[in-house]
Amino acid sequence: MSGQPFFARGGWIDVTIPIRPGMPVFPGDPPVRIELAQAIAGGASCNVTRLDMGAHTGTHVDAPVHFIEGAPGADAVPLEALIGPAWVVDCTRVTAEIDERALDGLDIPDGESRLLFKTPNSALWDRDGFSDAFIGLTDGAARALAARGIALVGADYLSIAPHGKAAPTHYAFLKAGVVIVEGLVLRDVDPGPYDLVCLPLRIVGCDGAPARALLHRR
């Protein structure tokens, strides 16, 4: 199933959603198209694939310019925020948006600077098409987390914010310098401490970039 993480050798867990035609994308974003531009079967010396998709397809990193005009693009997102200790937060019993009050009820140890929110969202990857029934963080929760000094926040669907409330939450995080990773697959990942490696493509000036994200239990 596309919504399952991949457990690799050495204890690493690939929490990247596979890119494929027909996968869910945010409304208005380009659909995924993958086709051969050159094919051995057609007489070419090698196969060469053409990819056509939006920068916010699947597992991806949001750059500040996504919501802040004139801000840095994906090529300027600090790699030190994307590599290091992370905490998978158990939100599997949360059924509504995560506001400041809900945030206070979650098990988030002090000092964790990278937080990945595991919610019921991961099951949505197995649906046909986009679902707006995903759980996200409100702008109040975003400001509270930014005040704690976190460096990175991750979501297990296509937006860190509740549907229809994207701008305030994204702005609160990005203005504070918090890196946003969206489109993770955390369904079978136990809550708790991990090491994170998440590397977005180095696309100059772009508002986002597809990424490969891996976790290793600490």
Catalytic center residues: 66
The dihedral formed by the CA atoms of 152, 153, 157 and 159, expressed in degrees to the nearest 10: -90
**Hey, which residues does 213 pair with through a beta bridge?**
198
- Burial class of residue 83, CB neighbours in 10 A (0-12, 13-18, 19+): middle
The answer for residues whose C-beta is within 8 angstroms of residue 175's C-beta and 6 or more apart is 64, 68
Residue 180's nearest CA partner among 191, 164, 167, 193 is 167
Helix axes 166-175, 139-147, angle to 10 degrees: 10
Residues 6+ positions from 137 with CB-CB distance below 8 Å = 97, 98, 103, 117, 145, 153, 155, 160, 161, 162, 169
Helix, strand and coil content of the chain, in percent to the nearest 5, comes to: 20, 30, 50
Burial 181-196 (b: 16+ CB within 10 A, else e): bbbbbbbebebeebbb
DSSP state of 30: P
